[in-house]
Amino acid sequence: MPFQLSEKEALIGCVLVAESCAREGVEGDKIDEAVNAIHGLKLFADWNGDQISKTWLRLKDEIFDAGLEDFLVAVQTQTNHTAKAQIVRICFDLIALNPLLNVGDHFYLKMLISRFGLPANALDALWKRGNAVQQYENYENALLGITLQQPKGWLLTEGYNGLHVLSIKSPRSNSTDQFTEFISLAFDEAAKDLDIDALYDQGVGDWTDICKDFQVLRNGAFHIPQQEIHARWKVFSGQAPKWVTPLTVKFFSFVSDKHALRYTLGCYSMHESTHEYEDIFDHVAKSIVIQRG
């Protein structure tokens, strides 16, 4: 039976094949990296990770039974130009995870570009973007007793609105869309009695109240032992009253009982470009060092 594919199924299936290529022929059962990349796309705003995983496993069997050629013909004929370009970009990022592969000359990517009728230099552009390593520079705030690493070329400003606030804005030249990605840090001296769960619930609860179409995409936690810092984070999408477009936010809450400091960090991006900036957001969040006594 010929494939009848939705845009979501076409993208998941193509990424499934790319994941298998990245693992050099090993069946694509380990899907964490791919699900994260897929989930960061606006197309999947109404899907959770479980839905993506189930579709992934079903398509794996269907592609194996029907053959890759039939599947790619269906993708070629049943998706639009924007979807095709997005498929190639995500597949490129996934194959690039294997440092042993020459992603700039990979047979699967070249085949997709040829079939989809994309520009012949599409891989060159992706290769240049993939090799543009983000540089960082140190920032120190003696009043707060903290240091952090900010992305080089981003603008950091300080302020006070009842909380000590730092804002780190991307230069427009670094943005792949018309939105200027930014990071906002707030240090709350008055919240010294809150534990990590209370601080997290308070911060996320504020967003739940003000955002239209609020939706949680994923969440997690981590610990920085040398600083005795506990952290929780959540990625969600929605539209606040002052935003002209829906955004994706990665929101962190941090508690250090050792240093009697609580702080939050919000990272803002367009949904379709979140996966391009999330490494930067994570780097800044985990680079904060508390130097107070």
Q: What is the pLDDT of residues 89-143, one digit of tens each?
A: 878 777 766 666 666 677 888 888 888 888 777 777 666 655 555 688 999 998 8
Q: With 50 as the cut, is the pLDDT of residue 38 above it? A: yes
Q: With 50 as the cut, is the pLDDT of residue 25 above it? A: no
Higher pLDDT, 12 or 132: 12
Beta bridge partners of 247: 238
Beta bridge partners of 166: 158, 185
| pLDDT for 191 | 61
Q: How far apart are CA 31 and CA 257, in angstroms?
A: 36
**Other CB atoms within 10 Å distance of the CB of residue 198:** 14
pLDDT band at 11 (very low <50, low <70, confident <90, very high): confident
Q: What is the mean pLDDT of residues 15-32?
A: 63
**Other CB atoms within 10 Å distance of the CB of residue 128:** 11
Q: With 50 as the cut, is the pLDDT of residue 28 above it? A: no
State phi, psi for 222 to the nearest 5 degrees: -155, 170
Q: How far apart are CA 196 and CA 256, in angstroms?
A: 9
| pLDDT for 32 | 61
| pLDDT for 125 | 67
Q: State the average pLDDT for the chain.
A: 80
pLDDT band at 53 (very low <50, low <70, confident <90, very high): confident
pLDDT band at 27 (very low <50, low <70, confident <90, very high): very low
| pLDDT for 118 | 81
| pLDDT for 47 | 78
Nearest one of 288, 246, 248, 241 to 267, comparing CA atoms = 248
Ranges of beta strands (E only) in 86-226 are 136-141, 146-151, 155-160, 164-169, 182-187, 212-224
**Other CB atoms within 10 Å distance of the CB of residue 205:** 10
Torsion of CA 35, 38, 40, 43, to 10 degrees: -140
Q: What is the pTM of this model?
A: 0.57
pLDDT band at 29 (very low <50, low <70, confident <90, very high): very low
The model's pLDDT over 204-254, given as tens digits with 9 standing for 90+, comes to 777 777 788 888 888 888 888 877 888 999 888 888 877 777 888 899 999
